[in-house]
Structure 1
Amino acid sequence: MTARAERAAPVRTRFPFPRRGAVRLTFGLGMLMLVLFAFVPAVAVIVVSFTDLRGLTYVPTLWVGIENYLDFFSPARAADNWNALRNTMVFAIVGTVLQMGFALAISLLLNRPLRGRNFFRAVVFMPTILGVTVGGLIWSLIFNPAGGPMQSLLHAVGTQSAFFGDPRIALGLVIFVHVWMQVGISVVIFLAGLQAIPAELQEVASIDGASAWQRFRNVTFPLLAPSLTANVLMGVVNAMHSYQLTYVLAGPSNRSTQVLSLLVYVQAFGGESGTSLSQSQGYAAAIATLQFVLVGVIALATLFYLRRREARL
């Protein structure tokens, strides 16, 4: 082999394609799609947030500057907006914690050599592929206060409930359904992390006399840190911009389950009463922009903390 061939050989082995043109074209098309369907709409939403766009025929659209943002923090809207913000934070924190806890426990169980393990994995993941509308309708029927299975069960013990119509438990029920639908994704990620852990480490720890809890705490959990980071980040972001499930289960005007993303939908497209003069796509875009900033800050702070925690582990 000549000296020139020896210099070229490492390049071919490091690069999976014989020429860079194909990769550049692929990544170029991917970036083009990202710009067209993510970046451009995001910029458009920000621009619309500085207007009074209402989407009504023959009604001119005017540039109003930061009026929509000031309106969000105005006393007239403060009660509804802060209620939606509080519900959003409760939904994100409680939902993510429960999702991580159940997913980790289920993945540890399904990682064992159980009979029918693949079947149980499919059952756990099934709610994820049902879709929000189907899953929401299933639980709406189960918690139907006019004679659903849960109401019949409560009648058997001498009580009853309005379920999603009860402001004390409505948000908790929505969180429960959300965790039920999303836990399958987290289980898959945790299972991938568990299967990447060398079995020799567990064997060495067992030989050294470590108990099952000690092996989990000192071997399994530290090596699951990247999977935990991905799951927590996805769980927080998904919970903070989720509104479809809340809409299907509790409706658009239920104050106890109102979240920021649902508030955006109602302001932009209307609630149960349909289109009205009170709607404003400009104001909805301002709420969406504020929500984007909030989700971005929380996601970056979460990622920074979890990455530092990974380094310590």
Structure 2
Amino acid sequence: MYPFGKGFARFIPFILLLIPMGLYLVFYFGPSVMTVIYSFTDVKNIPGSSMKFVGLENYYDLFYSGNSGERWRSIINTLIFMFVVTIVQNGVALFVAVLINQRLRGDYFYRAVFFLPVVLGVAVVALIWSMMFDPMSGPVNMLYEWLFGYKDMFFASFTHAFGYIIFVQIWMYMGYSMLIFLAGLQSVPKDLYEAGYIDGTTKWQSFRHITFPLIAPSFTVNMLLSIIGAMSAFDIILATTDGRFNTRTMAYDVYKETFRGSLEMGLPSALSVVQFLIILVFVVVAVRQTRKREVEY
């Protein structure tokens, strides 16, 4: 059998695969490898400058230099951001997906409404919530004053700004997680629910023992996307607080050190490597735990 023909035609699919592979090597794998190499050097963002191997000096400076306190705070903020976003976003998305899967009237409209923030883009979302959370005349502040008798500074608050950024991140990407859960829910065979109903299972037992094990692959995908997205998010922070008011994360620090800091490239490269290793650890643990719950039907 020759599905692609004989002679030279057999090699055409492999030749065509070289194009995306080449793009991947040049624009993704190559820069990733160079980032690891740069993290052990004193390379500078100056054309023609020399590069010298400095070993673990950049990694030492990350955690033991004069501003190491801010670096540790960024790491803690990143972990808090990741945990809260992953848990709340997937919990709310699963709840909404279950509701929409009940064949509600106008379910396609609800899907579009919940998915709309995903396609708006970070700049538009940041503008919307900056106007909603305006400390002077924003509608949310007016509601706060009417309900609780006080006003908040929102994105300009040292105590609350980070929480509001987490809320906006969840609001922006919850619709994406919802669609993945909804696809998993709609793939569950209906006869399993009918068999469970005949056996006298309650709705909670049906969800726990039938629905959740069968949508575990969707849960795994959402966990991975949430962890990676939350750990690498910096754009919403840049667009709302620009890292002020105790809202800095590791991803934002990488951006700041690379494009707004000194001309040193070794330090942000080392920070990128540390961020990648943290993401890798949480992703591996999450995959191992969630894959245990997956079942086949």
TM-score normalised over the length of structure 1: 0.87
Would the aligned equivalents of 2:74 and 2:249 in 1 still touch at CA under 8 Å? yes
Partner of 2:283: 299
Partner of 1:4: none
Partner of 2:292: 308
Cα distance in 2, alignment partners of residues 70 and 133 from structure 1: 35
Q: Does 1:135 align with 2:125?
A: yes
Cα distance in 2, alignment partners of residues 55 and 253 from structure 1: 25
Cα distance in 1, alignment partners of residues 48 and 15 from structure 2: 44
Q: Could you give the per-residue CA deviations for residues 20-69 of structure 1, whole angstroms, max 9, x where no partner exists?
A: 53432343322222211110010121222223334257865544332111
Instruction: Give secondary structure in 1 for the equivalent of 2:222.
Output: helix
Partner of 1:3: none
Larger Rg: 1
Q: Unpaired segments of 5 or more residues in structure 1? A: 1-7, 271-275
User: How many aligned positions are there?
Assistant: 293
Paired residues for 1:1-313 under 5 Å: 8=1, 21-56=11-46, 61-157=51-147, 158-254=149-245, 256-270=246-260, 278-310=262-294
Pair 1:108–1:311, CA change in 2 (3 A): closer
Instruction: Give secondary structure in 2 for the equivalent of 1:257.
Output: coil
Shift of 1:154: 2.5
Q: Could you give the per-residue CA deviations for residues 251-291 of structure 1, whole angstroms, max 9, x where no partner exists?
A: 1333x211000011111111xxxxx6x45322111101111
Q: Unpaired segments of 5 or more residues in structure 2? A: none
Instruction: Give secondary structure in 1 for the equivalent of 2:294.
Output: helix
Pair 1:146–1:20, CA change in 2 (3 A): farther
Pair 1:109–1:26, CA change in 2 (3 A): farther
Would the aligned equivalents of 1:194 and 1:220 in 2 still touch at CA under 8 Å? yes
Q: Could you give the per-residue CA deviations for residues 201-222 of structure 1, whole angstroms, max 9, x where no partner exists?
A: 1111112221211111111111
Partner of 1:5: none
- Between 17-26 and 108-117, the greater mean CA deviation after superposition: 17-26
TM-score normalised over the length of structure 2: 0.91
RMSD: 2.2
Shift of 1:76: 1.6
